[in-house]
Copies of this chain bind each other. A is one copy, B any other.
Amino acid sequence: MDLQLPKSEYPRVVIIGGGFGGIELAKRLKNKPFQVVMLDKHNYHTFQPLLYQVATGGLEADSIAFPLRKIFKGQKNLIFRVAKVTEINAAKNSVITDIGDISYDHLVIATGSTSNFFGNTEIEQNSMPMKSIPEALDLRSLILQNFEKSLIETDIDQKSALLNFVVVGGGPTGVETSGAIAELKKHVIPNDYPEMDLNQVNIYLVENSPELLGPMSPQAQVKSKEFLTEMGVRVMNETRVLGYDGFKLTLQDKAPILSSTVIWSAGVKGQVIPGLDLAEVVRGGRLKTDTQNLIVGYHNIYAIGDVASIIDEETPNGHPGVAPVAIQQGHHLAKNLINLIENKPLEKFKYFDKGSMATVGRNKAVVDIGKIRFQGVFAWFTWMFVHLMTLVGFRNKIIVFVNWLWSYFSYDRGTRLIIRTFAKDRSVDYRTEAPQVKDQISH
């Protein structure tokens, strides 16, 4: 059945996903002759670069997320709906959602990426992804629950599993997360858990390749590893994860690690929606598009951001899955859609690489901007400044800034509440919320 939407004389652009790309595109179409329909399964935008700080108790979830309706406040040609798109019916020019079918003149897929477990369901079942706010909150609860459990655990193996934290994947997320857990160990545990033996708390960063931060400069790669090692993280390069049953992490040619907390940041894949010709899905599960972001084989279905991959002689592997690419593609597609109705020629997307950076911990970050590379305190302040500026919402900027100031001077992390059911089986735990448990039992 069709979803009732306000009528409009203008062609309808349906955007699936309120991430960096979708938001940029929708905003650029403000006051243009389009009816813009934005769909997202959440009612908020997530600032993914700071998810790891939510997961490690540094920030409130609410301060890195922003209500999508607020972003489009006053944009008369935009309609927002919380909806989950289940299928695309390209023949009918409509998308099938859980709140009804929605027809489109132009469809833009901006669904982003999700954790890639490379088909290993055992790891998928037992490890913690960190791609959404609920996942970050679940991880925060799990880390804290395992601290609490370790105090009452009498079995030695079980206890060490509770105190071994493993991050898989040496990209920015992995580096930042393992660094943040190392800071929890250094600054929070001694105060909160005087009974705990710090020597029993181990943080591992496991990476397949010989270096960390793959796409970054050798200087950044070396320095980040140095920083992490100083902070007590056991960096294990050239280490391949074979499996994880929730207790034992098995590695290729290496001794297994007992751990109740394995954080999976080893890869992402595009969140592709059923209904499209999947022959055009390329490396990383991304939708192959031309330089106008048009999905190969379709004339009015576009893809931007992480879910898309412009395969071109200049970019045989597409662009990196980072926010600036999504934002620039959103901006570029808006221009092309306007060109389209003005019968102007479409432009080719050109990515302007502003550089990349990753933070490791207090006063420790690495920055590459073109040929300029620097690491350490100044890099750290640069990282914080850039993230504060790109964070959506003035209130969020203030709250995050206050939290960072607070943490900087107090060496403390503000938010350490176990406030939600841990979503996997281990969630059936006395520390979870009664209503949740009741609810689960009642099913």
Contact = CB atoms under 8 A, between A and B. Distances in A.
Given A192-B73, A430-B99, A439 B419 contact: no
A82 B148 contact: yes
B4 A134 contact: no
B403 A421 contact: no
Interface residues of A, number: 74
Interface in A153-184: 154
Contact of A417 (B67, B83, B395, B402): B67
Nearest to A100: B152
Q: How many copies does the complex hold?
A: 2
Given A63-B60, A70-B416, A43 B148 contact: yes
A436 interface: yes
A431 B43 contact: yes
A154 B76 CA distance: 22
A148 B81 CA distance: 7
Contact of A419 (B98, B137, B423, B428): B137
Interface string A191-215: 1111100000000000000000000
Contact of A62 (B132, B398, B414): B414
Interface centre among A3, A83, A151 (most CB of B within 10 A): A151
Contacts of A410: 395
A27 to B, nearest CB: 16
Given A191-B73, A421-B439, A443-B443, A67 B416 contact: yes
13 contacts: A42-B418, A44-B419, A62-B414, A70-B412, A81-B151, A82-B148, A98-B430, A395-B406, A398-B402, A399-B414, A420-B420, A423-B436, A425-B439
Interface of A: 3-4, 6, 41-44, 60-63, 65, 67, 69-70, 73-74, 76, 79, 81-84, 98-100, 132-135, 137-138, 144, 148, 151-152, 154, 191-195, 395, 398-399, 402-403, 406, 410, 412, 414-421, 423-425, 427-428, 430-431, 433, 435-436, 438-443
Given A83-B430, A133-B417, A421-B421, 9 more contacts: A44-B416, A65-B419, A81-B152, A82-B418, A133-B419, A137-B419, A423-B438, A425-B439, A440-B440
